[in-house]
Amino acid sequence: MKASSRSGVICTPHTLATDTGHDVLRDGGTAIDAVLAASATLAVSFPHMTGLGGDALLMLNDGRQLQVIMGLGQAGHTLPEGGIITERGAASAATTAGALRAWQQAKRISNNWGSRLDWPTLLAPAIAHARAGTPVSGSQAFWQEQRKALIDQLPDLHRLCRDDKGELKTEGSLLTQPQLADTLEQLSRAGLDDFYQGEIARALTRGFGDMGNGLTATDLARTQATLGRPWKTRYRAGFLYNFPAPTQGLYTLSALATLNQRPLARDRNGGADYYHHLVEAIKTQLALRNRELADPRCFPVAWEERLSEASARRSFGLINPNQAAPWHEPGQPADTIWMAASDSQGRTACLMQSLFHDFGSGCLVGDTGVLWSNRAASFSQNTQHPNAWAPGKIPAHTLNPSCYLADNGEQWYFGSQGGDGQPQTQMVLATQLIDYQQSVENALLAPRFLLGRSFFGSSENLKLEHSIAADVREELSRRGHQVETIPELSPLTGQAGALRVSPGGMTEAMHDPRGQGTARGLR
């Protein structure tokens, strides 16, 4: 359900996190305070998708400037024991966690915005929930069923996913996390730097040693978050913004810049021409991403040229309006969460945080209760690829939430879970909101597609939600797309959210009807 208010709104993937953020806004916190507190609660109530052991991006708008924070962990200076990185397990937990560095940077900006709330206040709800327990979400129960074999292989996940009888926890059953509560409590007392250079850091380092993941105290201490400006491109009567490399933001922006060459609003909304051009625009960009996306310190990309009008025209010229281009690219499924809040001063904060794949590495580090990401699995196994592992290197990221600032003062913020699906879902949201001027509700309800492999290892085809008209699916097949129909409002197409700020100050937000997210506004 959508929430609207002139005093502040928040939307997140879980009701407990939304309630936490709402209460922070009610108590005078900034939009940044709200998403930080909500993210801490989400680490407890949505542990299969996000947590302290992952990475985070934030996009902040104080009404004068748009800034981005990138808290991305880096590789250790040695490979895990055995000399290889795996997809799961300890050898996939071989990058540090940048999320809390991003939180620190964001809190400093929040204090500059006038925040009077401290870390003990912001972390208190998460601590209480971790200690008393939270109901297992429908999302966690769903992913447990999909990952039975993984849970069997990784004993640490038994603490999160199995009951006292060894059965998978069911939706609504109680999940307590006393070790995570202790970690959060220590962070609230000592400050977040303790995670990188303090008592918690020492506990993590001991855990790394036991795991053999190659990370050391020095690696942890060197983790940084960067503050900068987003990359942007002109789209219709405004500018689209997204995150710099090593995120895939460039490719989302480039695909939409390509679509900007076509007056899309003249096409039937939801028709074959609409979906054909969206799919063909992203194909070129995903192929480029797969070849080149890496830590920009190792492989810089001339992003301004890529987002130029001339580049967009060249990309658009590659699209055959009547024939689908071949598609043989490997997919990159991944999981994450997106949330956003706006406060009484009209300032907005969006946060995206991830463990990479659902349940991350599957490893709880030492006695901290912190589930570590498997982001190291994002490194290419090809030693000649720009994204190959190297000491201290940041791997390529699929995280890339967007913002659109219209010339008339309207603002939209949106993002989605889903690896390869993130730019695809964002293209649907952007075109629905901007080209077809749909409401937030209708944009989130609009039928989606997913080009490529899903979370469950299906084929590299074009998946279309059943709500796309049958004649449209048939026409797309005729144009050469390898079409597979998936259920209406399918979770395969991501868990998205959107927040709109009108020029008059009214703010509205909503999370995806494909999930259990909620939104609340101040009265």
3-state secondary structure of 278: helix
What is the distance between the terminal CA atoms of the chain, rounded to a whole angstrom?
Answer: 16
Cα(340)–Cα(432) distance, rounded to whole angstroms? Answer: 19
pLDDT in the model for residue 328: 84
Rg of the chain over all Cα atoms, to the nearest angstrom: 22
Quick check: 441 and 470 in contact, CB under 8 A?
Answer: no
Q: Where are the alpha helices (DSSP H) in 240-271?
A: 249-259
φ and ψ at residue 48, rounded to 5 degrees: -75, -15
The pTM is what?
Answer: 0.97
Write the DSSP string, 312-369: HHHHHHT--TTSPPP--PPP---EEEEEEEE-TTS-EEEEEEEEESTTTTS-EETTTT
Cα(30)–Cα(220) distance, rounded to whole angstroms? Answer: 29
Residue 242 makes CB contacts below 8 A (sequence gap 6+) with 230, 231, 232, 249, 250, 252, 253, 400, 401, 402, 403
Strands 134-135 and 231-234: unpaired
Of all helices (H) and strands (E), which one includes residue 132?
A: helix 119-132
Cα(433)–Cα(418) distance, rounded to whole angstroms? Answer: 20
Cis previous bond, 246, omega within 30? yes
Cα(217)–Cα(202) distance, rounded to whole angstroms? Answer: 7
Q: Which residues are catalytic?
A: 336
Structure tokens of 5?
Answer: 């208010």
pLDDT in the model for residue 458: 59
- Across the beta sheet with 483-486, the strand order is 449-451, 462-465, 483-486
- Tell me the sheet residues that pair with 388: 380
Half-sphere exposure of 27 (CA within 13 A, CB side): 15
Let me know how long the chain is. Answer: 523
Cα(507)–Cα(521) distance, rounded to whole angstroms? Answer: 9
Digitized pLDDT (tens) for each residue of the chain, 523 residues in all: 899 999 999 999 999 999 999 999 999 999 999 999 999 999 999 999 999 999 999 999 999 999 999 999 999 999 999 999 999 999 999 999 999 999 999 999 999 999 999 999 999 999 999 999 999 999 999 999 999 999 999 999 999 999 999 999 999 999 999 999 999 999 999 999 999 999 999 999 999 999 999 999 999 999 999 999 999 999 999 999 999 999 999 999 999 999 999 999 999 999 999 999 999 999 999 999 999 999 999 999 999 999 999 999 999 999 999 999 999 887 666 678 999 999 999 999 999 999 999 999 999 999 999 999 999 999 999 999 999 999 999 999 999 999 999 999 999 999 998 888 899 999 999 999 999 999 999 999 999 999 987 655 557 799 999 999 999 999 999 999 999 999 999 988 889 999 999 999 999 999 999 999 999 999 9
- Work out the angle at residue 148's Cα, subtended by the Cα atoms of residues 146 and 153, and round it to the nearest 5 degrees: 135
Query: If we measure between CA atoms, which residue out of 334, 277, 370 comes closest to residue 495?
Result: 334
pLDDT in the model for residue 6: 97
Residue 170 Cα distances to 137, 226, 363, angstroms? 9, 40, 21
pLDDT in the model for residue 506: 97
Cα(431)–Cα(256) distance, rounded to whole angstroms? Answer: 9
Dihedral over Cα of 372, 329, 396, 35: its sign: negative
Cα(435)–Cα(430) distance, rounded to whole angstroms? Answer: 8
Query: If we measure between CA atoms, which residue out of 495, 369, 362 comes closest to residue 429?
Result: 495
Query: If we measure between CA atoms, which residue out of 34, 20, 27 comes closest to residue 507?
Result: 34
Diameter over CA atoms, the chain: 63
- Across the beta sheet with 518-521, the strand order is 225-228, 66-71, 55-61, 348-356, 335-342, 9-12, 518-521
Residue 244: DSSP 8-state = P
